[in-house]
Chain A
Amino acid sequence: MDRVIIIRYGEIFLKGKNKSYFESLLINNIKNSLKRYKFEFFRSQGRYIVGNYDINCEYEIIDSLKKVFGIYSLSVADRVETEYENGFAGVNESLKRLAMDAASDCLKPKPTFRMTVKRADKRIPMRSCEIAAFLADTVLKNTDFTVNLTYYDYEFFVDIRENGYSYVYSDVIYGSGGLPVGCSSKGMLLLSGGIDSPVAAYMMAKRGMKQVAVHFASPPYTSERATAKVAELRDIVDAYTAHMPLYVVPFTEIQLEIHEKCPAEFMITIMRRFMMRIATVLAKREGCTALVTGESLGQVASQTVESMTSTESCAGLPIFRPLIAFDKEETMALAQKIGTYETSIQPFEDCCTIFLPKNPSIHPNLKKVEEAERKLEIDELVKRAVEGTYKV
């Protein structure tokens, strides 16, 4: 008897002729997410099997797999020889153990169960429901469970494969769903260090987008720790994003120039326009086809429709804002789920909060902003910032 993890994929199932492309990405991402562990990987008709792993690492392996987009669900199963001639001896033994474990954990009076059998091995003359009835006997004999096919507390699965082996299991663990990262092109994420942008990275990764992150730093106004915090956030979301490189752009010079030469009310808008320009240059260099931000409509002055319109006009690429209609609470709940929240709330100043004007314009007029910007040597400033950019 072997212990294995069965991996089922979701949406890819619906793909037509491109299915193998999606599958190869998913397999690659699965193997990468488990690269710290020893294991064997098999493909088996619309599902994958991870076997021969160290049983002590089972929880860690499942945790890693739960974060791989494209996986619909997982089950830890016993792989046994079917032994039909022997009255399903191996299956029965495994089933008995599962049932007794379930019975000892069960606190409910009069628990019910259902037996679900799939018979891919057509050499066996019994039909699935006959096998189910036969195997259910084992559960009935060893526990106080009763059968109820519609309203059941436990479901025991026996999957009889053609190769003479069967998988026996009872629990289904749900994965993250979505599409395998890499299937939806590459995007450049503007990663600030706050709560929203790591969540935006998670959301886009869920739809299969590979991402490269860019962070704007303003030393000495922002500290080395703020950058370290951003790198830490990247490391946390990496479990979902299948590794996201991080670039840090020196932004001080641009901020000082804006501060000196432009009206305070447009400070933030102009600053964000520069971020878009720089991100666009870097995105094209990295082969990214879109920008991603954590903006949410109306959250702050720079996230009104007018503000976003005026910053968007500087981006040479489409901007995706997966959190646009999220309340802060919803974003925070997701941040907690993916594990970035605690790091995000560490108090280090980021480049957006320094030189913050008292009354930023909430509805900046694009013409006025462009007029105000004219005093700056935009191309030169962007070029220098891009040149100073480094990878973390």
Chain B
Amino acid sequence: MTERSVIYLDNAATSPIREEVLNAMTQAMRSDYFNPSALYAPSAEISAEIRRIRSEICAALHAPEGEMYFTSGGTESNNTALFCTRKPKGSRIIVGMGEHDSVYAPANELKARGYDVRFVPIMRDGTIDAREFENLLDESVSLISVMHASNETGGINDIAALVKLAKKRAPKCVFHSDGVQAAGKIPVNLRALGVDMYSVSAHKIHGPKGIGALFIKKGVSAKPLLFGGGQEKGMRSGTENFPSIAAMREAIRIYIENEYATNYSKISKYRELFKARLTEIVSDIEIITPTHNSVPNILTVAFKDVRGEVLLHSLENYGIYVGIGSACSSHHESRFKSLLGLDDRHRDGVVRFSFSEENDLSEIDFVVDCIKRELEILTKYRRI
């Protein structure tokens, strides 16, 4: 890779690791290499440390009584939530249409295994249609999974209201929410949300890849996905990944110390400025991310007469990296694009800009100018 200045605007895909986090991780790798399950004193100390970190994360998310299990990340947390809760054969499962693939694909697998899986349509801003959701509720519902914030638009689902609704109509259902894009970006209070399960991941908040957690509320019965040495109270076997767990703690500590989740004025200011500048200079764009009721770090825009992928590569030449959503290829067209209800000329032009605290306001003019310049060239040669 060549050394050049990079403007990284794809933080919702993953975020660069922070120096302090990296230090915590290497420190743990170097000196705390003991197997936490071994019987000597240093192992017991690491084991106790993991317990402390677990309760710190629970506290950060205001979790009710229950257990926070460390996993290999969002995908494993979501898979565990979908596959491992107790569900009567053939019972109904409700999943949002715009869920991340790590929920959507397991849901399809459950459908193939004979469950009555229903997908709730989403609205323009990426959140689910509450009325449709309500219509699908009945006593046979055993599991619901609705993401907290959409990875495609940043739109926030009113999880608390959905949980209330669900528990009233389907008292026995287990409610899971994928919080990978929400945790650290907006205040998360699991007590207030009322969910039974909640997935989080470290690499979206400048932590390392390969570590995440799944919260399971007390009383929710779930079987493990992985069997083995019985670590994580039997819920997730495999030697505890202490260096990553320690790094995740550090990443969260920085978020809490700087009050990023509650005091996100810098990042939302960046987004608002970016949006204002973009709408001012580039015509014919559709802003998909709602101004209110969205995580502050995502801005999804549909450009006219240009393919998102092509614009992405054009901006790459300037060292600007953006995203086009999670299922990003011409052959596996994002479910999401077809759901947004965009007209034909905007449909292919969806680009997701996602920011972090490390982005600087001074970049905005340059980025928007580059977009304008490239669009002029690209729209001239649009597909016939």
Contact = CB atoms under 8 A, between A and B. Distances in A.
Given A220-B310, A220-B314, A221-B313, A347 B330 contact: yes
B329 A348 contact: yes
A347 B328 CA distance: 10
A227 B317 CA distance: 16
Interface residues of B, number: 16
A376 to B, nearest CB: 15
Contacts of A267: 384
A219 interface: yes
A355 B310 contact: no
Nearest to B311: A220
B383 interface: yes
Nearest to A221: B310
A153 interface: no
Contact of B384 (A220, A222, A224, A264): A264
A348 B332 CA distance: 10
A259 B381 contact: yes
A354 B313 CA distance: 14
Contacts of A224: 313, 316
Contacts of A353: 330
B106 to A, nearest CB: 22
A129 interface: no
Contact of B313 (A223, A347, A355): A223
Of B316, B317, B374, B384, chain A has the most CB atoms within 10 Å of the CB of B384
B384 A357 contact: yes
B116 interface: no
A349 interface: yes
Nearest to A348: B329
A219 B329 contact: no
A391 interface: no
Interface string A343-380: 00001110001111110000000000000000000000
Contacts of A222: 313
A260 interface: yes
Nearest to B330: A349
A222 B310 CA distance: 7
Contacts of B383: 354-356
Given A220-B310, A223-B313, A355 B329 contact: no
Contacts of B331: 347
A228 interface: no
Interface string A249-277: 00000001001100010010000000000
Nearest to B383: A355
A347 B384 contact: no
Contacts of A354: 383
Contacts of A358: 384
B350 to A, nearest CB: 16
Nearest to A257: B381
A51 B317 CA distance: 52
A220 B377 CA distance: 11
A151 B381 CA distance: 70
A390 B381 CA distance: 26
A357 B311 CA distance: 20
Contacts of A220: 310-314, 316-317, 374
Contacts of A355: 381, 383-384
Interface string B323-338: 0000001111000000
A50 to B, nearest CB: 41
B61 to A, nearest CB: 36
Contacts of A259: 381, 384
Contacts of B374: 220
Contacts of B332: 347
B309 interface: yes
A260 B316 CA distance: 25
A310 B384 CA distance: 23
A328 to B, nearest CB: 17
A256 B310 CA distance: 14
Nearest to A256: B381
A220 B332 CA distance: 19
A104 B251 CA distance: 60
A259 B313 CA distance: 20
A224 B312 CA distance: 11
Nearest to A353: B330
Interface string A236-256: 000000000000000000001
Nearest to B378: A220
Contacts of A256: 381
A346 to B, nearest CB: 9
A348 B330 CA distance: 7
Of A220, A256, A349, chain B has the most CB atoms within 10 Å of the CB of A220
Contacts of B314: 220
Interface string A287-320: 0000000000000000000000000000000000
Nearest to A349: B330
Contacts of B329: 347-348
Interface string A321-346: 00000000000000000000000000
Interface in B347-384: 374, 381, 383-384
A221 B309 CA distance: 8
13 contacts: A219-B313, A220-B310, A220-B312, A220-B313, A220-B316, A221-B310, A223-B309, A223-B313, A347-B329, A349-B330, A353-B330, A355-B384, A356-B383
Given A220-B312, A224-B313, 15 more contacts: A220-B313, A220-B316, A220-B317, A221-B310, A221-B313, A223-B309, A256-B381, A259-B381, A260-B381, A347-B329, A347-B330, A347-B332, A349-B330, A355-B381, A355-B383
Q: Which 7 A-B pairs have the closest CB atoms?
A: A220-B313, A347-B331, A220-B314, A347-B329, A264-B384, A357-B384, A221-B310
